[in-house]
Amino acid sequence: MPRRSFPLQGRMRWLFLGLVLLLVLFLFAYLLECTPPADVSLVLPGLGGESYGKEYYQALLQEQEEHHLSRAASLKRQIAQLKQELQQMSEKLKDLQDRKEGLRVQGLAETKDQVPGDLLEFLHSQIDKAEVNTGARLPSEYALVPFESFNSGKVYQLEMGLTRHPEEKPVRKDRRDELVEVIEAALDVINNPDEEDGQEDDVPMQRQAYTESHFTEGLYRTERDKGTLYELFFAKEDSDNFRHVTLFRPFGPLMKVRSTSVETSGVVINIIVPLAGRTDAFSQFLHNFREVCIKHDREVHLTVVYFGQEGLREVKSYLEKMSREETFSNYTLIPVDEEFSRGRGLDIGARAWKKGDVLMFFCDVDIYFTRDYLNTCLLHTAPNSQERCWILERFWLWNDMSISLRLP
């Protein structure tokens, strides 16, 4: 067995060697068939069997390069145009932001130049709706929005009910800042008048600047769908010339409505007092009348309508004594032999005046008034005019009794 295996292995070797040689010959023949001719390396075949040289491919590369350069230039132009449009939009946005900031900070300064036309038209429409220039017809007295009065330190409110005092200090910081801002804005309007204000620049007294100390009183009311209306009055010491400034905040910056001069000198106030008895109270009333009216302003007239005969002599002696001591004769005593009636007495006193235009102050012997209140009556009334009807309601204390005074 071992001897037979050796010849078999030798045959297998020779067979394997023959297969290898056959495979080599096959590969060699394949290479001979697939190898290109030797001269093809210089020239490549083109379309239709034509051949192209080096210049053709250089021209082709140059054409492709010019196409890419043209495309790059077009993209650069588009980028530059987009940058320009972006810059214009940025400038517009910055302009709008600056305009908004200017409106917030300056408030009153150059409103027509800063506010766009549509916004300015809306703000003026708010002024018309708020009854700044003309009144509006209301369905009832409950639809009326009352004014509240204020001065440099206190606010006098009307709708307080019975739980709080009508006079209070503005505790909230935003309330104080609001009133201070309004006073400062009104001072800026007075001290820097526009041409439409109609002030005479050649008058030296009017060229003097007004300060916060010249502020006498103000009124304001807020309507939820319109804004806040402010009426402010300024006067210098020992002067009958008042400055009246109207401002309106239409849910935005303050806008000047007008600035006018109010002359109160020469206006006579006829204080009409119906009386029956109560001579002691009348004596106290005359004391306040002398301090407020005679010593500070003699442009007043006192009309006393006395009912009955009891106490008439004492009232007449009080008036004659005041006339002698103060050299004051602007008073009228009208005796009436009827039962006391306050309405009847006021009617008689009003009809007894025959000296021309006068501001009639329907008063009571228990009412204590001040010079500031008389100025308020002068500022909120106009002769022979019903364009603006003011109802003033103030609370005064006399003998620990609160009295509500109304003037039509």
Better-scored residue on pLDDT, 333 or 103: 333
Count how many Cα atoms sit within 13 Å of the Cα of residue 264 in the half-sphere of its side chain.
Answer: 27
pLDDT in tens, 180-202: 889 999 999 998 887 656 555 44
Q: Quick one: pLDDT at residue 161?
A: 56
pLDDT surpasses 80 at 1? no
Structure tokens at 168: 């209070």
Tokens 């082709």 correspond to 60
What integer is the mean pLDDT of 7-24?
80
pLDDT class of 127 with cuts at 50, 70, 90? confident
Structure tokens at 297: 């302003």
pLDDT class of 116 with cuts at 50, 70, 90? low
CA dist 267 to 9, 88, 165, 191, Å? 151, 62, 33, 27
Helices 279-289 and 312-326, axial angle in degrees (round to 10): 20
For residue 159, give the 3-state DSSP assignment.
coil
Structure tokens at 51: 């051949």
What is the Cα Rg of the chain in Å?
Answer: 50
Bridge-based pairing of strands 300-307 and 269-275 is parallel
Distance CA 289, CA 283 (A): 10
pLDDT surpasses 50 at 394? no
Q: Quick one: pLDDT at residue 198?
A: 55
Start-to-end CA distance of the chain, whole Å, equals: 151
Structure tokens at 308: 């009955």
Q: Lowest mean pLDDT: which of 138-142, 367-371, 373-377?
A: 138-142
pLDDT class of 357 with cuts at 50, 70, 90? confident
Distance CA 230, CA 223 (A): 12
pLDDT surpasses 80 at 148? yes
pLDDT surpasses 80 at 359? yes
pLDDT surpasses 50 at 13? yes
Mean pLDDT of the chain: 77
For residue 207, give the 3-state DSSP assignment.
helix
pLDDT surpasses 90 at 273? yes
pLDDT class of 356 with cuts at 50, 70, 90? confident
pLDDT surpasses 70 at 400? no
- Per the CB < 8 A criterion, the answer to whether 332 and 304 are in contact is yes
Distance CA 88, CA 105 (A): 26
Q: Quick one: pLDDT at residue 207?
A: 59
pLDDT in tens, 32-84: 776 655 544 444 444 444 556 788 888 888 888 888 888 888 888 889 888 88
Distance CA 319, CA 331 (A): 8
Q: Quick one: pLDDT at residue 204?
A: 47
Tokens 């025959």 correspond to 354
Structure tokens at 352: 């007894």
Q: Quick one: pLDDT at residue 385?
A: 61
Q: Lowest mean pLDDT: which of 57-66, 165-174, 234-243, 370-379?
A: 165-174
pLDDT surpasses 60 at 350? yes
For residue 388, give the 3-state DSSP assignment.
coil
- Length of the chain measured in residues: 408
**Nearest of 361, 273, 356, 357 to residue 319 by alpha carbon:** 273
Strand order in the sheet with 155-156: 167-168, 155-156, 148-150, 215-223, 227-235, 241-249, 255-263
Quick one: DSSP state of residue 339?
-
**Nearest of 10, 371, 2 to residue 216 by alpha carbon:** 371
Q: Quick one: pLDDT at residue 165?
A: 66
- Per the CB < 8 A criterion, the answer to whether 297 and 361 are in contact is no
Q: What's the whole-model pTM score?
A: 0.53
pLDDT class of 303 with cuts at 50, 70, 90? very high
**Nearest of 211, 214, 230, 263 to residue 149 by alpha carbon:** 230
Better-scored residue on pLDDT, 74 or 118: 74
Q: Quick one: pLDDT at residue 30?
A: 76
Distance CA 375, CA 130 (A): 26
Q: Quick one: pLDDT at residue 197?
A: 60
Q: Quick one: pLDDT at residue 159?
A: 66
pLDDT class of 401 with cuts at 50, 70, 90? very low
- Per the CB < 8 A criterion, the answer to whether 390 and 144 are in contact is no
- Per the CB < 8 A criterion, the answer to whether 348 and 313 are in contact is no
- Per the CB < 8 A criterion, the answer to whether 148 and 179 are in contact is no
pLDDT surpasses 90 at 335? yes
Q: Give Cβ neighbours of residue 382 (< 8 Å, ≥ 6 apart).
A: 388
pLDDT in tens, 220-260: 888 877 888 899 999 888 788 889 999 988 876 677 888 88
Better-scored residue on pLDDT, 90 or 136: 90
